[in-house]
């Protein structure tokens, strides 16, 4: 499943850790933000004034690069409490 604009930011970063660098490159401080589990990628672009199509393309490219290297493509297991 590719990254979609309707996915919550937190889900994207957890499923594809390689995307964290893209958020930071766009100066989005979504990493660790309590709103990240509620905001979608589209919401984050709107809030931060980023071009949605370009940002989404960059997220997908990061996922593809990580898939090629075998890193950051598998969903992270849930933490055991």
**Per-residue model confidence as pLDDT tens digits over 2-11:** 899 999 999 9
Asked if the structure places residue 73 within a domain, the reply is: no
Asked if the structure places residue 47 within a domain, the reply is: yes
Q: How big is the CA angle at 71 (ends 68 and 77), to the nearest 5 degrees?
A: 135
**Residue 77 confidence (pLDDT) above 80:** no
Which value, in Å, is the radius of gyration of the alpha carbons in the chain? 12
- 26: containing domain: 9-68
Q: How far apart are CA 75 and CA 61, in angstroms?
A: 17
Q: What is the pLDDT of residues 26-66, one digit of tens each?
A: 999 999 999 999 999 999 999 999 999 999 999 999 999 99
The pTM of the full predicted model, rounded to 2 decimals, is: 0.81
For residue 50, which of 20, 17, 25, 15 has the smallest C-alpha distance? 25
Asked if the structure places residue 54 within a domain, the reply is: yes
Asked if the structure places residue 80 within a domain, the reply is: no
Asked if the structure places residue 49 within a domain, the reply is: yes
Asked if the structure places residue 19 within a domain, the reply is: yes
Asked if the structure places residue 45 within a domain, the reply is: yes
N-term to C-term CA, the chain? 28
Q: How far apart are CA 64 and CA 29, in angstroms?
A: 23
Tell me, what's the pLDDT at 61?
Answer: 97
Asked if the structure places residue 23 within a domain, the reply is: yes
Number of domains in the chain: 1
**Residue 16 confidence (pLDDT) above 60:** yes
């Amino acid at each position: 499943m590719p990254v979609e604009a309707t996915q919550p930011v937190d889900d994207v970063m957890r499923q594809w850790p390689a995307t964290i660098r893209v958020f930071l490159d766009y100066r989005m401080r979504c990493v660790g933000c309590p709103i990240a589990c509620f905001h979608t990628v589209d919401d984050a672009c709107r809030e931060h004034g980023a071009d949605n199509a370009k940002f989404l393309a960059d997220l997908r490219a990061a996922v593809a690069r990580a898939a090629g290297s075998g890193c950051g493509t598998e969903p992270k297991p849930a933490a055991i409490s």
